[in-house]
Amino acid sequence: MEDIEILQDIDWDNLIFDLSPTRSMYIAEQRDNKVWERGKLVPFGNVSISPAAGVLNYGQGIFEGLKAFRTSRERIVLFRPGNNAIRAIQSAERLCIPPVPQEMFMEAILEVVRDNSDYIPPLGKGSLYIRPVIWGTGTVLGVKPAQSYTFLVFVSPVGHYFKNSEKCLHLKITNKFHRTSPRGTGGFKTIGNYAASLLPQKLAKKAGFDEVIYLNAANEHFVEEVGSANLFILKDNTLVTPSLTGSILPGVTRDSVIQITKKILKLEVQEREVSVDEVLDADEVFCSGTAVNVTSIGEITTDETFRIISGGKIGPYTKRIGEILSGIRNETVEDQFEWLFPVF
């Protein structure tokens, strides 16, 4: 099919997780609290914004992240995009942003991916990362919602999030910072959540760690999330992950891991509070997310101790879950969950 040929002169073997500008992006406006206007494709580039915009002054903005893949059946597919559309609606409502209707969200993504299909890496070389963003464009001075908004979708071919995807991560459990607080915005994909994680991440990497594991702000005996991913532990053939209590992002990959573990691997899954001691005593530990996929954690450091998990190697269940998830996306494993959404 001519539409899905790989035309771009990109070094696919050395692709990293960073921006590679593509041909076009999608943009739509909502003015004066009226309905969203019909969007359009425009050349990828900068956007104009007032210095008094709500997003610049009060952080009134949300975003999503999903991917398009080339498969073994020579198709281009999205992975569970409807979940991202629903989560974007929930995040928008939390920040008083007029939600983008699910149908419009899906149409925007399909338009951008189709127009930039030649930027999608070959099978096994990476994916096309899709970034929808919605923000308050209207001017504000007092603390209040903006009166107009912008919905934009851009894409970029990406490789693995971590530099060495075959190597287990070394993470630091920190009580110096909290990612979010009870009844806050941790369960939503707001831009401020990620800005607050930049300093802890910077300090962790400077000290030689790959990322941070955050603790529950109300009770520091329990863990919550990795900086950019959900956290899982395996102990005695049981998969355990912190429950969604409002301060943890309901990850699409998180839900996929849970379903694969229950329905394919036939293991017990528990969603509950997870203590620091349980993490340190686990047989396997890994994190999941759209950007990181399923990534093994082989070493964990706290202020008091250092622990090697699974001999510092990828555990058997972690490996199998990752293989099944990748196989479904690549169409080498049957998509019994009907997660794939064809672009063409």
Please identify every residue annotated as catalytic: 189
- Helices 81-94 + 102-115 axis angle, to 10: 130
- Least Cα distance to 215 among 200, 225, 202, 230 occurs for 225
> Can you tell me which residue has the tokens 């603790």?
215
CA separation for the pair 242, 170 (Å, rounded): 20
3-state secondary structure 240-290: EEECCCCCCCCCHHHHHHHHHHHHCCCCEEEEECEEHHHHHCCCEEEEEEC
What is each CA distance from 276 to 102, 302, 308, in whole angstroms? Answer: 38, 9, 14
